[in-house]
Structure 1
Amino acid sequence: MTEVVVTGYGTVSAAGIGVPVNWDRVCAGAPTAARDPELTGIPVNITCRVPGFDAEALLGRPEARRTDRTTQFGLVAAREAIADAGLEPHAWDGARVGIVMGTSTGAAGTYDREYVRYFEEGPEWVSPTFGVTAPMNLLAGYLASAFGAYGPNLVVTTACAAGPTAIGTARQLLVADMCDIVLAGGAEAPLTGLLVSSLGQMGAMSRRLADPAGASRPFDAARDGMVPAEGAAVLVMERSADARARGVQPHGVVAGYGASADGYHMSAPDPEGRGAERAIRMALRDAGLSAADIGHVNAHGSSTPLNDVTESRTIARVYDDPVVTSTKGVLGHALGAAGALEAVHTLLALETGMIPPTANLEQVDEQITVDVVAGEPRKHTFEAAATHSFGFGGQNAVVVFRRP
């Protein structure tokens, strides 16, 4: 099969803007969760919010005014990724450049704001730009306009599996020769009163209100729920031959992709992990690798009681003792952007030989038997790694990366 590589990446998260600051904080295991002053009055209001994000300064006033925060994150991450890949949009053949982005809640902030205007102030106060700001497809549409990408333009929405779904779909477009370059990833800005209230009401969020920094603690015996987050990550993907022709050293090879549905429950994982296992085995088969070839797994590791145990059992059953981490202990759970951020973390671990710790992991749950990194980064040389993402609706996606 045609080999596809990642030649650039960009990130926005609660750790800050840009890959270097994100990677530094993830490796330091320094949590970003805090009580959210924008959600005062909501009983459970611990989140991981992007600090100091000034859309007008980063994108210009016109672009900032006509885009939702989710799209703004995507634009900033994409700009970094393109520069990292050594590409110049004004010089590329835009008809051969595609975009595949993932999201779960889309323009949640815009919907919240305009609903309030409609019900409290009346229809005449609804923004005339709502129809070109809120629809989910515009996440990819605005990226196409900003960067002159005129090829296939898609938004996939597979809940928390959206990032890897976008990466896998982008790989398929490149293998099919429908594009020469694809920008792929995920973006999410879900920290609205409505969504956070709902997550709190359903018992999905951590209630560690007296210690918000310690709230997201994947695989820990004392974990009590996830911490919602926001952010974005975008990867530049190309065929290996094209990258070589440009003289570019790739970050890694997108070796395999697998996806599945649990078909079990809308918010709880299949307790046997059968859907997750199908996605993992599909990705390994697609990559032409065995379970023993995977030296590292960037786990979904959501910090919820059910998911962490189910995922760890699946890892133990499928793989041959990989080194495991979850970066959600630092960045929280960015829903549709989480898997894209974790794809970047997985590539960085491959490149640096450094696996970041799982923040706040003080005592591993006795039901979890896999080798989870805690405390400090671990040096570990490996040739291939997998990143897992599992979402509401029982949607699963797994990507396998290997060294170029």
Structure 2
Amino acid sequence: MKALAGSSARARCRAILCILATLAAGCGGPESTSTRLNIALAVFPAEAARYRSFVADFESRHRVRINIIAQGYGDILQAMRVQAGARGNLDLVELDLAMLAEAHNYAQPIDDQVSAPERALFTNAAWAAAQSGGHLYFVPHRLMWQAMIYNRQKVPTPPSTWDELAQFARNNPGKLAIKAARYEGAVCDALAFVWSAGGDECHPESPASLRAFDFFKSIAPNLNNESAVFREMSVLEAQARGSVWIHFNWPFAIDYLHDKGLAPEVDLSAPIPAGPAGRATPLGGGYLAIPRFAPHTKLASEFIQYLLTSEAQARLSEKMGWYGSVPPAPGSEDARLYAGYSAMRPYVRARPAIECYADLSDDWRRAIRAVLVDDRTAAQAVGDAFGNRRGGSRCDCAEMR
């Protein structure tokens, strides 16, 4: 079995290198004579087709063919590593927010390519995450954040504070859900509450952070029983079935419910309930970078500038169904559907862009599950999950910031 696993890993690596790092050369196929801009995006095939439609205008203006390479974020990052060590053929790549701390080592700085009006398209938190060492390496591509999804027929007035949310949970056992599976989504759900308590992801043992854990402890007995395994799609499907009346999710959730005829008739979005220090929501989404040794750096820069206009952002949102940079038109159906997301826009915060974030995230997941699933106290959960940082064996994000 070990030999088979090793063979599979080597095959996967060869596929990544062939598909991503040397794609313009066709992995040994005939060489094209036309200019081709290779863009690696973390999209599904159907989304790739819609994106090709979006870029048709750029192709026409610049007499270029854009080749969309649909891959996962992990494979794209690996291809960047390879290209940074030896010339490759990727011109632009999309990366997950959590990867930016490492990926800037393989990207070209683009400080002179983004003007003040272009920065106004996205929040300060979004641009802060795109920088490292005082230089800009990334541009926001599709940004999103979480809001509360609620069943307006069962919950005519959605809870707006922690106290109201806790009261809802007590009055309606099993109808509130939190994504507590062992993955990053659990951290995103939790940090919204930690931040709104005045806490900090780098100081889980602080009184404010512990206040959020105490709140989790108070609502845990009344959460939906499947919260321990819920992820974005599974909790959304539970909302669509009516077995969950309130949960927290990304904008795609409203689009999904709308397509099923459930939004706005049954489900809508609302702001995440405010805690002792106000509201907060985690920033998510993808960023674009120009890899080192990109064969068409000038053309890649022109594509970035093409994206950074209100008109292009509006068309991108319309073509792809991505809510983020451009709010819906006032009075439109989308304005009603995404009202919760629009209300949360001023409260968006980014997770720390540090190279050991994977370790930090793992600690947070363990602490969250300890309270919500394993019935541990806040102090016990935090002590068990983060105590080993004192020995220097794990990520200390306060020190790395």
TM-score by length of 2: 0.25
In terms of fraction of residues, the more strand-rich structure is 1
In terms of fraction of residues, the more helix-rich structure is 2
Larger Rg: 2
